Structure 1
Amino acid sequence: MSTVTNPGTTQFVQVERPDGSVGRIAYDDQGTGPAVLLAPGMGTTRATFRHLVPVLLRAGYRVITTDYRGLGESDTGWDEYSSAATADDLAALIRHIDAGPVLLYGNSYTAASAVHLAADHPELLRGAVLSGPFVRSLPAPNLVGKITYALMAKPLFTRTLWMVWFPHMFPKRPADYAEMRAAVDANLREPGRAKVFAQMCAGTHDAAEAKLPRAKASGVPMLVIMGTADEDFPNAVDEGRFVAESVNGRLELLDGYGHQPHEETPEQIADLITGFDPAR
């Protein structure tokens, strides 16, 4: 059994679905001070922040972590799984915790959600950190990648292929990497979750890309963090520069780190957050 747990006590915010039913979005809420909301990347859970949360708490933050719809402890059964829908859930959570504008740290998939929020609800954000950001649709780097992407959208293959890819996100693995990988695998084995992930893999970030100009004009301060060894992009450095320019943000390149730098170097990520935060 995995020893990786979520960093706090699970709470839920209820979000009404289009059919009138209610779905629950899981989160935890710890500490006092300026609120920082941490949103995980696609195919993982809020436990990905287990090392970052204590550092931010020591720095004097109120730290909220969340699972997006369909994975972690959040409910399945939604009609839509997209970065735009996740942005709506994040907006509902921010209003629910009633902490005023938050600093949002979005990794990978939820970096696109941060773009949606900045464009549509800038009043909810005092800043946004886009880490390993997928804010536009990129072509597969080669034929193997193209085939893999296509198969990832098939629920029968989604979990297996994701577990094969998972190690590539961590060129500098945390000490409990094996436990975290096992926890993600276990979550995807729960009923309905692999199907959710397959739907997410089949989607695009076209809607987020279309909102980049509005996000840039919103006035929300943006920090882009990109690991130079991030294998999720054909050229991580070039993509980091593109995103930073697109949102008028500051770019921080982390030499040798991968797609989830908050797991690999949490202290450095916390320093970047506190140094960037307009509330500090």
Structure 2
Amino acid sequence: MGDTGATFRLLTPHLLAAGYRVAAMDVRGYGASGTGWPDYAPASIGADLLDLIRHLNGDTPAMVIAHSIGCSSAVWAAAEAPEAITALVLIGTFSGEAPIKPWMKAASRLVGRSAALWGLFVRSSYPTARPADFGDYLAALKAGLRGPGRLAPLRAQIEVSLSGVENRYAEVTQPALVVMGTRDGDFADPAADAALSAAKLAGPARVHLVDGAGHYPHAEMPAATAEGTLAFLSRLRTSATSSRSRQGL
């Protein structure tokens, strides 16, 4: 929400160094994506994600890393087309159990009124550390949101969040990792909400807590986020190799 695929810029080098191919997607309405989309619902963005996977990989499935409301789209895609996604890493996802207080709804709608106010929110979401390029990155983010029609997806996604997204956790059978910063201000108890989200997933799920990080652990503490992510992906690789060996492949 309110960001581009460049949000993963500091996590990507760790994935590349481990031998993965990485594609960072701009959600409809942001970054290199155009404007004037009919909607910005999680299901629609999930369908975009599946289109991108098939465009880049054909029939070969992908592992998907998503953040915040983007996790709802990733979960939708994994439930809708399990053959296209082998695993999920959900950063800052939400269980849907905690009610949203009225003052939080008002504040959320307020930050969607301008790029400057959204920038203040993003700045507050890094409670412990900010990356060296944070100033330039935030300036570019706000500049992008000032273009014609560029606040539309932000406002639409805020309304979707406030109305309560029903994640399709119970339909996801793929392995998943829930990553949560212990100081994520979006949650009263980040660790507890991460555990709730993991418990709702039908497939095997783990939780990786990033100590001291806020809502953007992949940018605030990319090394710590990568450590848990790569350990999870490595276990999947090992499991897949063992399975092929048992089958004599």
Q: Aligning the two structures, in what range does the TM-score lie when normalised by the shorter sequence?
A: 0.7 to 0.9
Identity within the alignment, %: 37
The answer on 1:167 being equivalent to 2:162 is no
Separation in 2 of the partners of 1:202 and 1:168?
21
What runs of 5+ residues in structure 1 fail to find an aligned partner?
1-41
The residue that corresponds to 1:225 in the other structure is: 179
The residue that corresponds to 1:240 in the other structure is: 194
Structure 1 residue identity aligned to 2:54:
R
Deviation at 1:272, TM superposition (A): 2.0
The residue that corresponds to 2:148 in the other structure is: 191
Relative contact order (alpha carbons < 8 A, sep ≥ 6): 1 or 2 greater?
2
The residue that corresponds to 1:249 in the other structure is: 205
Task: Give me the TM-score of the superposition, normalised by structure 1.
Answer: 0.77
Normalized per residue, which structure has more strand?
A: 1
Secondary structure in 2 aligned to 1:66? coil
Separation in 2 of the partners of 1:123 and 1:179?
39
Secondary structure in 2 aligned to 1:226? strand
Tell me if structure 1 keeps the 8 A contact 2:11–2:219.
yes
Q: State how many pairs are aligned.
A: 231
Separation in 1 of the partners of 2:131 and 2:97?
29
Tell me if structure 2 keeps the 8 A contact 1:158–1:197.
no
The residue that corresponds to 1:263 in the other structure is: 219
Separation in 2 of the partners of 1:60 and 1:44?
26
Task: Give me the TM-score of the superposition, normalised by structure 2.
Answer: 0.86
Normalized per residue, which structure has more helix?
A: 2
Tell me if structure 1 keeps the 8 A contact 2:115–2:143.
no
Tell me if structure 2 keeps the 8 A contact 1:109–1:133.
yes
RMSD: 1.9
Deviation at 1:176, TM superposition (A): 1.3
- Could you list the structure 1 runs, at least 4 aligned residues long, displaced by more than 6 angstroms after superposition: none
Tell me if structure 1 keeps the 8 A contact 2:63–2:85.
yes
Tell me if structure 2 keeps the 8 A contact 1:169–1:258.
yes
The residue that corresponds to 1:51 in the other structure is: 10
Separation in 1 of the partners of 2:223 and 2:32?
26
Tell me if structure 1 keeps the 8 A contact 2:115–2:145.
yes
